[in-house]
Amino acid sequence: MDGLDLNKEILDIAKTRVYSNLYLQNILDITIQKKYDVIISMFAVLNHLKNTQELEKALMNLKNILTDGGKIIIDLHNPQDSGSKTDFYDNMTRTMEWHYDKKSKIEDSKIIFEIDGKKYIDSHTFRIFTIDEVKQCCANVGLVVKKVYENYDSNKHGSSIS
């Protein structure tokens, strides 16, 4: 198992926890010379891309390091609404607020972690790709979408999001 990230600090943390090849690279500029049977893109990596052209480039880069018959598994953030929620875990509170602009397909999010009385704030901007956009980009680079699941539920096949 290997890993790829464009954040050096995250890779430095990973090096203390895993024993594998870790690459400091952008998904838009992959230069890895290996081939993989399975590639997993977790935690909304593709939502950091700005448009469908970048999405196609990233998918092509993944395809180029995939073995014949290999599979790509993508975790994609796709809410298409605005909202907020708060979760509680032991000594931590996590409050998430997000605003989705339907015209631009951009989501601006703020996450506030409160741990032992200290606040930590994270914010990010995501491009929300519809399932149809992802399917079309996959088709454009020669990838076939086999299954789409909603909310990690294998009984929901992406029916309410398109």
Task: Read off the pLDDT of residues 65-120 as tens digits, 9 standing for 90 and up.
Answer: 999 999 999 999 988 899 999 999 999 999 999 999 999 999 999 999 999 999 99
Cβ atoms < 10 Å from Cβ of 127: 19
Contact 42, 121 (CB under 8 A): no
Return d(Cα 106, Cα 47) in angstroms, integer: 9
pLDDT above 90: percentage of residues in the chain: 85
Instruction: Note the pLDDT tens digit of each residue in 106-132.
Output: 999 999 999 999 999 999 999 999 999
What angle, 0 to 180 degrees and rounded to 10, lies between the N-to-C axes of helices 131-140 and 52-64? Answer: 50
Longest CA–CA separation in the chain, Å = 51
Contact 42, 68 (CB under 8 A): no
Return d(Cα 132, Cα 54) in angstroms, integer: 16
Q: Please compute, for residue 106, the number of CA atoms within 13 A of its CA located in the half-sphere on the CB side.
A: 7
What are the structure tokens assigned to 145, written together?
A: 């979408």
